Structure 1
Protein backbone atom coordinates (compact mmCIF):
# COMPACT_ATOMS: atom_id res chain seq x y z
CA UNK A 1 0.00 0.00 0.00
CA UNK A 2 1.50 3.31 -1.03
CA UNK A 3 1.91 6.21 1.38
CA UNK A 4 1.83 9.86 0.44
CA UNK A 5 4.37 12.11 2.15
CA UNK A 6 3.29 15.38 3.62
CA UNK A 7 5.35 18.53 4.07
CA UNK A 8 5.77 17.64 7.73
CA UNK A 9 7.17 14.24 6.81
CA UNK A 10 9.64 15.90 4.49
CA UNK A 11 10.71 18.28 7.26
CA UNK A 12 11.27 15.47 9.77
CA UNK A 13 13.22 13.26 7.42
CA UNK A 14 17.02 13.69 7.72
CA UNK A 15 18.73 15.08 4.68
CA UNK A 16 20.44 12.05 3.12
CA UNK A 17 23.55 13.88 1.94
CA UNK A 18 24.36 15.47 5.33
CA UNK A 19 23.56 12.43 7.42
CA UNK A 20 25.55 10.23 5.08
CA UNK A 21 28.56 12.48 5.38
CA UNK A 22 28.43 12.41 9.18
CA UNK A 23 27.90 8.68 9.33
CA UNK A 24 30.69 7.95 6.84
CA UNK A 25 33.25 9.96 8.78
CA UNK A 26 32.17 11.05 12.22
CA UNK A 27 35.54 12.72 12.85
CA UNK A 28 35.53 14.93 9.76
CA UNK A 29 34.04 17.72 11.87
CA UNK A 30 37.21 17.92 13.94
CA UNK A 31 39.60 18.26 11.02
CA UNK A 32 38.65 21.80 10.12
CA UNK A 33 41.34 24.48 10.58
CA UNK A 34 39.53 25.86 13.64
CA UNK A 35 39.43 22.47 15.34
CA UNK A 36 43.02 21.63 14.42
CA UNK A 37 44.14 24.88 16.07
CA UNK A 38 42.07 23.97 19.14
CA UNK A 39 43.64 20.50 19.27
CA UNK A 40 47.13 21.99 19.16
CA UNK A 41 46.37 24.47 21.94
CA UNK A 42 44.96 21.71 24.14
CA UNK A 43 47.88 19.35 23.52
CA UNK A 44 50.49 22.04 24.17
CA UNK A 45 48.72 23.23 27.32
CA UNK A 46 48.24 19.71 28.71
CA UNK A 47 51.84 18.73 27.92
CA UNK A 48 53.16 21.94 29.52
CA UNK A 49 51.18 21.41 32.71
CA UNK A 50 52.19 17.74 32.86
CA UNK A 51 55.86 18.67 32.52
CA UNK A 52 55.47 21.28 35.25
CA UNK A 53 54.28 18.43 37.46
CA UNK A 54 57.34 16.36 36.53
CA UNK A 55 59.55 19.40 37.25
CA UNK A 56 58.07 19.68 40.72
CA UNK A 57 58.76 15.98 41.32
CA UNK A 58 62.38 16.54 40.26
CA UNK A 59 62.56 19.49 42.64
CA UNK A 60 61.22 17.24 45.40
CA UNK A 61 63.88 14.63 44.64
CA UNK A 62 66.60 17.29 44.73
CA UNK A 63 65.24 18.65 48.00
CA UNK A 64 65.19 15.19 49.58
CA UNK A 65 68.75 14.52 48.45
CA UNK A 66 69.90 17.90 49.79
CA UNK A 67 68.16 17.31 53.12
CA UNK A 68 69.74 13.87 53.46
CA UNK A 69 73.24 15.27 52.90
CA UNK A 70 72.75 18.15 55.32
CA UNK A 71 71.23 15.99 58.04
CA UNK A 72 74.04 13.46 57.72
CA UNK A 73 76.74 16.14 57.95
CA UNK A 74 74.98 17.94 60.79
CA UNK A 75 75.10 14.68 62.75
CA UNK A 76 78.88 14.43 62.48
CA UNK A 77 80.91 15.97 65.32
CA UNK A 78 83.10 19.00 64.80
CA UNK A 79 86.68 18.16 63.88
CA UNK A 80 89.87 20.16 63.53
CA UNK A 81 89.92 22.08 60.25
CA UNK A 82 93.18 20.46 59.17
CA UNK A 83 91.43 17.07 59.25
CA UNK A 84 89.16 18.25 56.44
CA UNK A 85 91.54 20.52 54.52
CA UNK A 86 95.20 19.57 53.99
CA UNK A 87 97.65 22.19 55.20
CA UNK A 88 98.92 22.98 51.68
CA UNK A 89 95.50 23.75 50.13
CA UNK A 90 94.43 27.30 49.27
CA UNK A 91 91.84 28.80 46.93
CA UNK A 92 93.88 28.36 43.75
CA UNK A 93 95.00 24.76 44.43
CA UNK A 94 93.92 22.02 42.07
CA UNK A 95 90.71 20.17 42.88
CA UNK A 96 89.47 22.62 45.52
CA UNK A 97 85.95 22.74 44.09
CA UNK A 98 85.48 19.02 44.66
CA UNK A 99 87.11 19.26 48.09
CA UNK A 100 84.91 22.17 49.17
CA UNK A 101 81.71 20.51 47.96
CA UNK A 102 82.62 17.33 49.81
CA UNK A 103 82.88 19.08 53.19
CA UNK A 104 80.00 21.55 52.85
CA UNK A 105 77.89 21.68 56.04
CA UNK A 106 80.61 19.89 58.05
CA UNK A 107 81.48 21.45 61.40
CA UNK A 108 85.11 22.34 62.04
CA UNK A 109 87.18 24.01 64.75
CA UNK A 110 90.22 26.21 64.19
CA UNK A 111 92.25 28.86 66.01
CA UNK A 112 93.54 32.15 64.72
CA UNK A 113 93.51 35.93 64.90
CA UNK A 114 90.91 38.16 63.27
CA UNK A 115 91.90 40.77 60.69
CA UNK A 116 89.14 43.37 61.26
CA UNK A 117 90.70 45.88 58.87
CA UNK A 118 89.74 43.49 56.04
CA UNK A 119 86.14 42.92 57.18
CA UNK A 120 83.42 42.55 54.55
CA UNK A 121 79.65 42.94 54.66
CA UNK A 122 77.43 40.62 52.63
CA UNK A 123 74.51 42.94 51.91
CA UNK A 124 70.85 42.38 51.06
CA UNK A 125 70.43 39.49 53.49
CA UNK A 126 67.26 38.69 55.40
CA UNK A 127 66.63 36.61 58.49
CA UNK A 128 63.40 36.03 60.41
CA UNK A 129 61.64 38.62 58.27
CA UNK A 130 64.23 41.38 58.82
CA UNK A 131 66.64 42.94 56.35
CA UNK A 132 70.31 43.27 57.19
CA UNK A 133 73.86 42.17 56.45
CA UNK A 134 76.11 39.23 57.23
CA UNK A 135 79.39 40.32 58.84
CA UNK A 136 82.46 38.52 57.52
CA UNK A 137 85.96 38.86 58.98
CA UNK A 138 89.13 37.08 57.81
CA UNK A 139 90.76 34.85 60.42
CA UNK A 140 94.50 34.34 60.06
CA UNK A 141 95.35 30.80 61.09
CA UNK A 142 98.50 29.65 62.85
CA UNK A 143 99.90 28.42 59.50
CA UNK A 144 99.33 31.93 57.98
CA UNK A 145 96.49 30.81 55.73
CA UNK A 146 93.23 32.77 56.03
CA UNK A 147 89.66 31.60 56.58
CA UNK A 148 86.70 33.92 56.03
CA UNK A 149 84.38 33.69 59.04
CA UNK A 150 80.79 34.87 58.78
CA UNK A 151 80.15 36.08 62.33
CA UNK A 152 76.42 36.23 61.68
CA UNK A 153 73.51 38.46 60.74
CA UNK A 154 73.05 42.06 61.84
CA UNK A 155 69.72 43.82 61.18
CA UNK A 156 69.88 47.17 59.40
CA UNK A 157 70.61 50.01 61.79
CA UNK A 158 72.24 47.77 64.41
CA UNK A 159 75.95 48.11 65.11
CA UNK A 160 77.90 44.93 65.79
CA UNK A 161 80.57 44.82 68.50
CA UNK A 162 84.21 44.61 67.53
CA UNK A 163 85.82 41.21 67.14
CA UNK A 164 88.17 39.98 69.87
CA UNK A 165 91.73 41.23 69.38
CA UNK A 166 93.23 38.06 70.84
CA UNK A 167 93.65 34.57 69.46
CA UNK A 168 90.25 32.90 69.22
CA UNK A 169 89.05 29.36 68.71
CA UNK A 170 86.04 29.22 66.44
CA UNK A 171 83.67 26.43 65.51
CA UNK A 172 81.32 26.65 62.57
CA UNK A 173 79.89 25.08 59.44
CA UNK A 174 81.90 25.15 56.23
CA UNK A 175 80.66 26.26 52.82
CA UNK A 176 82.22 26.52 49.35
CA UNK A 177 82.54 29.75 47.43
CA UNK A 178 79.18 31.25 46.43
CA UNK A 179 78.30 31.66 42.77
CA UNK A 180 76.12 34.31 41.16
CA UNK A 181 72.69 33.09 40.12
CA UNK A 182 71.35 33.84 36.65
CA UNK A 183 69.56 37.02 37.75
CA UNK A 184 71.68 37.80 40.80
CA UNK A 185 73.21 41.23 41.38
CA UNK A 186 76.80 41.68 40.30
CA UNK A 187 79.78 42.81 42.33
CA UNK A 188 82.39 45.07 40.72
CA UNK A 189 84.99 43.00 38.89
CA UNK A 190 87.90 45.16 40.07
CA UNK A 191 89.00 46.99 43.19
CA UNK A 192 88.78 46.30 46.90
CA UNK A 193 85.32 45.29 48.07
CA UNK A 194 83.93 46.10 51.52
CA UNK A 195 80.35 45.21 50.58
CA UNK A 196 79.47 42.23 48.43
CA UNK A 197 76.40 40.41 47.18
CA UNK A 198 77.92 36.98 47.83
CA UNK A 199 81.13 35.39 49.09
CA UNK A 200 82.93 34.73 45.82
CA UNK A 201 86.21 33.60 47.30
CA UNK A 202 88.20 33.83 44.07
CA UNK A 203 87.08 37.43 43.64
CA UNK A 204 88.01 38.32 47.24
CA UNK A 205 91.33 36.46 47.27
CA UNK A 206 93.48 39.36 45.89
CA UNK A 207 92.45 41.70 48.70
CA UNK A 208 92.98 39.22 51.56
CA UNK A 209 96.55 38.95 52.91
CA UNK A 210 97.72 35.34 53.02
CA UNK A 211 96.56 32.20 51.29
CA UNK A 212 92.77 32.16 51.32
CA UNK A 213 91.10 28.82 52.02
CA UNK A 214 88.58 27.47 49.47
CA UNK A 215 85.76 27.52 52.04
CA UNK A 216 84.24 30.02 54.44
CA UNK A 217 82.70 29.36 57.86
CA UNK A 218 79.32 30.26 59.37
CA UNK A 219 80.23 30.82 63.01
CA UNK A 220 78.50 28.66 65.63
CA UNK A 221 80.62 29.37 68.69
CA UNK A 222 83.75 31.22 69.70
CA UNK A 223 86.20 31.20 72.60
CA UNK A 224 86.33 33.90 73.85
CA UNK A 225 82.63 34.18 72.98
CA UNK A 226 80.92 36.77 70.83
CA UNK A 227 78.60 39.24 72.56
CA UNK A 228 75.31 37.43 73.07
CA UNK A 229 72.65 38.24 70.47
CA UNK A 230 74.74 40.39 68.08
CA UNK A 231 75.57 39.27 65.47
CA UNK A 232 72.87 36.61 65.29
CA UNK A 233 74.05 33.19 64.09
CA UNK A 234 73.10 32.51 60.49
CA UNK A 235 69.99 30.32 60.61
CA UNK A 236 70.22 26.69 59.54
CA UNK A 237 68.56 25.73 56.24
CA UNK A 238 64.95 24.63 56.15
CA UNK A 239 65.01 20.83 55.88
CA UNK A 240 61.33 20.34 55.13
CA UNK A 241 60.27 18.93 51.77
CA UNK A 242 58.33 22.08 50.91
CA UNK A 243 55.20 22.06 48.75
CA UNK A 244 56.70 20.32 45.72
CA UNK A 245 54.52 17.21 45.96
CA UNK A 246 51.26 19.15 46.33
CA UNK A 247 52.26 21.45 43.47
CA UNK A 248 53.04 18.42 41.29
CA UNK A 249 49.62 16.93 42.00
CA UNK A 250 47.97 20.25 41.15
CA UNK A 251 49.76 20.47 37.80
CA UNK A 252 48.80 16.88 36.95
CA UNK A 253 45.15 17.57 37.88
CA UNK A 254 45.12 20.71 35.71
CA UNK A 255 46.57 18.72 32.81
CA UNK A 256 43.91 16.00 33.15
CA UNK A 257 41.18 18.64 33.46
CA UNK A 258 42.22 20.17 30.14
CA UNK A 259 42.13 16.76 28.45
CA UNK A 260 38.73 15.98 29.98
CA UNK A 261 37.40 19.33 28.79
CA UNK A 262 38.77 18.58 25.33
CA UNK A 263 36.84 15.30 25.17
CA UNK A 264 33.64 16.92 26.45
CA UNK A 265 33.92 19.75 23.92
CA UNK A 266 34.24 17.25 21.04
CA UNK A 267 31.31 15.18 22.27
CA UNK A 268 29.04 18.21 22.62
CA UNK A 269 30.04 19.53 19.20
CA UNK A 270 29.46 16.16 17.58
CA UNK A 271 26.01 15.81 19.11
CA UNK A 272 25.11 19.31 17.99
CA UNK A 273 26.25 18.55 14.43
CA UNK A 274 24.18 15.35 14.32
CA UNK A 275 21.14 17.19 15.65
CA UNK A 276 21.46 19.93 13.06
CA UNK A 277 22.01 17.47 10.25
CA UNK A 278 18.83 15.60 11.21
CA UNK A 279 16.82 18.77 11.06
CA UNK A 280 16.06 18.97 14.81
Structure 2
Protein backbone atom coordinates (compact mmCIF):
# COMPACT_ATOMS: atom_id res chain seq x y z
CA UNK A 1 0.00 0.00 0.00
CA UNK A 2 1.58 3.27 -1.08
CA UNK A 3 2.54 5.62 1.64
CA UNK A 4 0.87 9.01 1.23
CA UNK A 5 3.34 11.80 0.69
CA UNK A 6 2.62 14.99 2.49
CA UNK A 7 3.07 17.91 0.12
CA UNK A 8 4.99 20.90 1.35
CA UNK A 9 4.31 24.38 0.04
CA UNK A 10 7.48 26.46 -0.16
CA UNK A 11 7.04 30.16 0.22
CA UNK A 12 9.49 31.63 -2.27
CA UNK A 13 8.54 35.17 -1.51
CA UNK A 14 11.42 37.28 -0.20
CA UNK A 15 11.03 38.42 3.41
CA UNK A 16 10.01 42.06 3.66
CA UNK A 17 13.19 43.05 5.51
CA UNK A 18 15.44 41.50 2.89
CA UNK A 19 13.42 43.11 0.10
CA UNK A 20 13.93 46.52 1.67
CA UNK A 21 17.68 45.90 1.90
CA UNK A 22 17.86 44.95 -1.79
CA UNK A 23 15.83 48.00 -2.83
CA UNK A 24 17.96 50.29 -0.69
CA UNK A 25 21.17 48.84 -2.13
CA UNK A 26 19.81 49.30 -5.64
CA UNK A 27 18.93 52.92 -4.96
CA UNK A 28 22.39 53.57 -3.49
CA UNK A 29 24.10 52.03 -6.53
CA UNK A 30 21.99 54.05 -8.95
CA UNK A 31 22.66 57.29 -7.07
CA UNK A 32 26.38 56.51 -6.90
CA UNK A 33 26.52 55.78 -10.64
CA UNK A 34 24.57 58.97 -11.36
CA UNK A 35 26.96 61.03 -9.21
CA UNK A 36 30.00 59.54 -10.97
CA UNK A 37 28.59 60.23 -14.44
CA UNK A 38 27.67 63.81 -13.58
CA UNK A 39 31.09 64.34 -11.99
CA UNK A 40 32.81 63.10 -15.13
CA UNK A 41 30.70 65.41 -17.27
CA UNK A 42 31.47 68.38 -15.03
CA UNK A 43 35.18 67.55 -15.10
CA UNK A 44 35.12 67.55 -18.89
CA UNK A 45 33.39 70.95 -18.87
CA UNK A 46 36.17 72.26 -16.63
CA UNK A 47 38.71 70.81 -19.06
CA UNK A 48 36.84 72.52 -21.91
CA UNK A 49 37.16 75.94 -20.27
CA UNK A 50 40.84 75.27 -19.54
CA UNK A 51 41.55 74.18 -23.14
CA UNK A 52 39.70 77.18 -24.62
CA UNK A 53 41.69 79.53 -22.38
CA UNK A 54 44.93 77.80 -23.39
CA UNK A 55 44.14 78.08 -27.10
CA UNK A 56 43.29 81.76 -26.69
CA UNK A 57 46.51 82.37 -24.74
CA UNK A 58 48.61 80.65 -27.42
CA UNK A 59 46.95 82.71 -30.16
CA UNK A 60 47.69 85.88 -28.19
CA UNK A 61 51.33 84.93 -27.64
CA UNK A 62 51.85 84.08 -31.30
CA UNK A 63 50.47 87.42 -32.47
CA UNK A 64 52.33 89.50 -29.87
CA UNK A 65 55.47 91.43 -30.88
CA UNK A 66 58.63 89.36 -30.30
CA UNK A 67 60.58 90.00 -27.13
CA UNK A 68 64.26 89.55 -26.42
CA UNK A 69 65.88 86.30 -25.40
CA UNK A 70 66.73 87.86 -22.04
CA UNK A 71 63.04 88.50 -21.42
CA UNK A 72 62.13 84.88 -22.15
CA UNK A 73 64.94 83.67 -19.91
CA UNK A 74 63.72 85.86 -17.06
CA UNK A 75 60.20 84.51 -17.47
CA UNK A 76 61.47 80.94 -17.54
CA UNK A 77 63.56 81.50 -14.41
CA UNK A 78 60.50 82.91 -12.65
CA UNK A 79 58.50 79.78 -13.48
CA UNK A 80 56.24 81.48 -16.02
CA UNK A 81 54.93 79.65 -19.06
CA UNK A 82 57.16 80.51 -22.03
CA UNK A 83 55.64 78.08 -24.51
CA UNK A 84 54.80 79.75 -27.85
CA UNK A 85 56.13 83.14 -26.73
CA UNK A 86 57.35 85.19 -29.70
CA UNK A 87 61.08 85.87 -29.45
CA UNK A 88 63.81 87.50 -31.52
CA UNK A 89 67.45 86.52 -31.14
CA UNK A 90 70.69 87.07 -33.05
CA UNK A 91 73.78 84.92 -33.40
CA UNK A 92 75.80 82.70 -35.70
CA UNK A 93 74.68 79.20 -36.66
CA UNK A 94 77.09 76.35 -35.91
CA UNK A 95 75.93 74.06 -38.72
CA UNK A 96 78.49 71.40 -37.92
CA UNK A 97 76.62 70.60 -34.69
CA UNK A 98 73.05 70.42 -36.03
CA UNK A 99 70.86 67.69 -34.56
CA UNK A 100 68.07 65.86 -36.38
CA UNK A 101 64.62 65.22 -34.92
CA UNK A 102 62.53 62.59 -36.74
CA UNK A 103 59.32 64.21 -38.02
CA UNK A 104 56.76 64.41 -40.81
CA UNK A 105 55.66 67.47 -42.72
CA UNK A 106 52.77 67.65 -45.17
CA UNK A 107 52.80 63.89 -45.59
CA UNK A 108 56.56 63.58 -46.08
CA UNK A 109 58.98 61.82 -43.73
CA UNK A 110 62.14 63.57 -42.70
CA UNK A 111 63.70 65.59 -39.93
CA UNK A 112 63.49 68.87 -38.10
CA UNK A 113 66.92 70.47 -38.11
CA UNK A 114 67.95 71.76 -34.68
CA UNK A 115 71.03 73.96 -35.05
CA UNK A 116 72.92 75.68 -32.22
CA UNK A 117 72.81 79.45 -32.62
CA UNK A 118 75.96 80.76 -30.99
CA UNK A 119 75.21 83.90 -29.00
CA UNK A 120 77.45 86.86 -28.26
CA UNK A 121 77.99 85.66 -24.67
CA UNK A 122 79.33 82.30 -25.87
CA UNK A 123 76.23 80.28 -25.09
CA UNK A 124 74.22 78.25 -27.59
CA UNK A 125 70.48 78.31 -28.33
CA UNK A 126 69.13 75.30 -30.21
CA UNK A 127 66.92 76.61 -33.03
CA UNK A 128 64.48 74.38 -34.88
CA UNK A 129 65.20 75.78 -38.34
CA UNK A 130 62.54 73.61 -39.95
CA UNK A 131 61.94 70.46 -41.97
CA UNK A 132 64.12 68.63 -44.48
CA UNK A 133 63.05 65.46 -46.34
CA UNK A 134 64.60 62.14 -45.36
CA UNK A 135 66.93 62.13 -48.35
CA UNK A 136 68.19 65.61 -47.41
CA UNK A 137 69.44 64.70 -43.95
CA UNK A 138 73.06 64.95 -45.07
CA UNK A 139 74.13 68.60 -45.04
CA UNK A 140 76.09 68.10 -48.27
CA UNK A 141 72.76 67.85 -50.13
CA UNK A 142 71.58 71.30 -48.97
CA UNK A 143 74.61 73.51 -48.58
CA UNK A 144 72.73 76.58 -49.82
CA UNK A 145 70.69 76.59 -46.64
CA UNK A 146 73.74 76.60 -44.36
CA UNK A 147 73.66 80.34 -43.71
CA UNK A 148 77.00 81.86 -42.71
CA UNK A 149 77.59 84.92 -40.56
CA UNK A 150 75.35 86.67 -38.10
CA UNK A 151 71.61 86.13 -38.47
CA UNK A 152 68.51 87.36 -36.67
CA UNK A 153 65.91 84.68 -35.95
CA UNK A 154 62.26 85.35 -35.25
CA UNK A 155 60.41 82.44 -33.76
CA UNK A 156 58.61 80.91 -30.81
CA UNK A 157 60.11 79.76 -27.53
CA UNK A 158 59.49 76.10 -26.72
CA UNK A 159 60.30 74.50 -23.35
CA UNK A 160 62.49 71.43 -23.13
CA UNK A 161 61.13 68.08 -21.98
CA UNK A 162 62.31 66.59 -18.72
CA UNK A 163 61.48 63.02 -19.72
CA UNK A 164 60.32 60.89 -22.63
CA UNK A 165 56.65 61.73 -23.27
CA UNK A 166 55.53 58.11 -23.66
CA UNK A 167 56.87 54.57 -23.44
CA UNK A 168 55.73 54.15 -27.05
CA UNK A 169 58.23 56.78 -28.22
CA UNK A 170 61.55 55.17 -29.32
CA UNK A 171 64.74 56.00 -27.49
CA UNK A 172 66.93 58.66 -29.03
CA UNK A 173 69.84 57.42 -31.10
CA UNK A 174 72.49 60.03 -30.45
CA UNK A 175 75.20 58.07 -32.29
CA UNK A 176 73.21 58.23 -35.54
CA UNK A 177 72.06 61.76 -34.77
CA UNK A 178 68.38 60.80 -34.79
CA UNK A 179 66.17 62.06 -31.98
CA UNK A 180 62.60 60.91 -31.38
CA UNK A 181 61.87 63.22 -28.49
CA UNK A 182 63.31 66.63 -27.66
CA UNK A 183 65.92 65.82 -25.03
CA UNK A 184 67.86 69.09 -24.96
CA UNK A 185 70.57 67.76 -22.66
CA UNK A 186 71.20 64.77 -24.94
CA UNK A 187 71.26 67.00 -28.02
CA UNK A 188 73.78 69.31 -26.38
CA UNK A 189 75.95 66.45 -25.13
CA UNK A 190 76.00 64.69 -28.50
CA UNK A 191 76.91 68.00 -30.16
CA UNK A 192 79.83 68.46 -27.77
CA UNK A 193 78.29 71.42 -25.95
CA UNK A 194 78.46 71.85 -22.19
CA UNK A 195 75.00 71.81 -20.63
CA UNK A 196 75.70 74.97 -18.61
CA UNK A 197 76.51 76.84 -21.84
CA UNK A 198 73.20 76.00 -23.52
CA UNK A 199 70.02 78.08 -23.17
CA UNK A 200 67.52 75.82 -21.33
CA UNK A 201 64.80 75.90 -23.99
CA UNK A 202 64.37 75.71 -27.76
CA UNK A 203 63.23 78.22 -30.35
CA UNK A 204 61.16 77.30 -33.41
CA UNK A 205 62.09 79.55 -36.34
CA UNK A 206 59.27 81.23 -38.28
CA UNK A 207 58.45 80.78 -41.96
CA UNK A 208 61.18 83.09 -43.23
CA UNK A 209 62.60 81.28 -46.30
CA UNK A 210 66.08 79.81 -46.23
CA UNK A 211 68.41 79.88 -49.25
CA UNK A 212 67.71 76.89 -51.48
CA UNK A 213 64.33 76.38 -49.81
CA UNK A 214 65.65 74.13 -47.03
CA UNK A 215 65.04 73.78 -44.17
CA UNK A 216 61.33 74.66 -44.45
CA UNK A 217 60.64 76.92 -41.47
CA UNK A 218 57.50 77.57 -39.50
CA UNK A 219 56.81 73.95 -38.57
CA UNK A 220 55.48 74.63 -35.08
CA UNK A 221 52.26 72.67 -34.56
CA UNK A 222 49.26 74.34 -32.94
CA UNK A 223 46.65 71.63 -33.43
CA UNK A 224 45.43 71.12 -29.86
CA UNK A 225 42.60 68.55 -29.67
CA UNK A 226 39.49 69.98 -28.03
CA UNK A 227 36.83 67.27 -27.76
CA UNK A 228 35.90 67.99 -24.16
CA UNK A 229 32.39 69.25 -24.96
CA UNK A 230 31.65 66.02 -26.81
CA UNK A 231 32.92 63.98 -23.87
CA UNK A 232 30.90 66.07 -21.40
CA UNK A 233 27.70 65.59 -23.38
CA UNK A 234 28.38 61.85 -23.49
CA UNK A 235 28.71 61.59 -19.71
CA UNK A 236 25.68 63.80 -19.09
CA UNK A 237 23.72 61.76 -21.63
CA UNK A 238 24.57 58.53 -19.83
CA UNK A 239 23.46 60.09 -16.54
CA UNK A 240 20.14 61.11 -18.11
CA UNK A 241 19.69 57.63 -19.59
CA UNK A 242 20.32 56.10 -16.16
CA UNK A 243 17.56 58.29 -14.67
CA UNK A 244 15.11 57.31 -17.42
CA UNK A 245 15.84 53.58 -17.15
CA UNK A 246 15.64 53.65 -13.34
CA UNK A 247 12.35 55.56 -13.42
CA UNK A 248 10.86 53.14 -15.93
CA UNK A 249 11.93 50.20 -13.77
CA UNK A 250 10.31 51.70 -10.66
CA UNK A 251 7.13 52.44 -12.61
CA UNK A 252 6.91 48.84 -13.87
CA UNK A 253 7.49 47.44 -10.39
CA UNK A 254 4.65 49.49 -8.97
Task: Identify which of structures 1 and 2 has the higher relative contact order when contacts are C-alpha pairs closer than 8 Å and 6+ apart.
Answer: 1
The answer to whether structure 1 residue 107 and structure 2 residue 91 are counterparts is no
Deviation at 1:80, TM superposition (A): 3.2
The answer to whether structure 1 residue 135 and structure 2 residue 120 are counterparts is no
SS at match of 2:57: helix
Contact kept? 1:127, 1:235, Cα under 8 Å: no
Deviation at 1:225, TM superposition (A): 3.5
**5+ long unaligned stretches in structure 1:** 1-16, 87-94, 272-280
CA distance in 2, matches of 1:131, 1:191: 19
Deviation at 1:197, TM superposition (A): 2.0
SS at match of 2:199: strand
Query: What residue in structure 2 maps to residue 4 of structure 1?
Result: none
TM-score by length of 2: 0.73
CA distance in 1, matches of 2:167, 2:180: 12
SS at match of 1:113: strand
CA distance in 2, matches of 1:41, 1:74: 49
Deviation at 1:140, TM superposition (A): 1.0
Contact kept? 1:193, 1:204, Cα under 8 Å: no
Query: What residue in structure 2 maps to residue 13 of structure 1?
Result: none
SS at match of 1:171: strand
SS at match of 1:168: strand
How many residue pairs were aligned? 235
Q: Aligned in 2, Cα 1:96/1:242: closer, same or farther, shift over 3 Å?
A: closer
Deviation at 1:134, TM superposition (A): 1.7
Deviation at 1:31, TM superposition (A): 3.7
**5+ long unaligned stretches in structure 2:** 1-10
Query: What residue in structure 2 maps to residue 82 of structure 1?
Result: 70
Q: Aligned in 2, Cα 1:71/1:233: closer, same or farther, shift over 3 Å?
A: closer
Matches within 5 A, 1:113-192: 113-123=92-102, 125-157=103-135, 161-162=142-143, 163-179=146-162, 180-185=164-169, 187=171
CA distance in 2, matches of 1:67, 1:243: 13
Aligned-residue CA RMSD in angstroms? 3.7
Query: What residue in structure 2 maps to residue 194 of structure 1?
Result: 177
CA distance in 2, matches of 1:49, 1:229: 51
Deviation at 1:42, TM superposition (A): 4.5
Deviation at 1:57, TM superposition (A): 1.4
CA distance in 2, matches of 1:39, 1:197: 52
Contact kept? 1:170, 1:221, Cα under 8 Å: no
* Structure of greater Rg: 1
CA distance in 2, matches of 1:39, 1:128: 55
Query: What residue in structure 2 maps to residue 5 of structure 1?
Result: none
CA distance in 2, matches of 1:152, 1:146: 18
TM-score by length of 1: 0.67
Deviation at 1:112, TM superposition (A): 1.8
Q: Aligned in 2, Cα 1:51/1:202: closer, same or farther, shift over 3 Å?
A: farther
SS at match of 1:196: coil
CA distance in 2, matches of 1:120, 1:65: 34
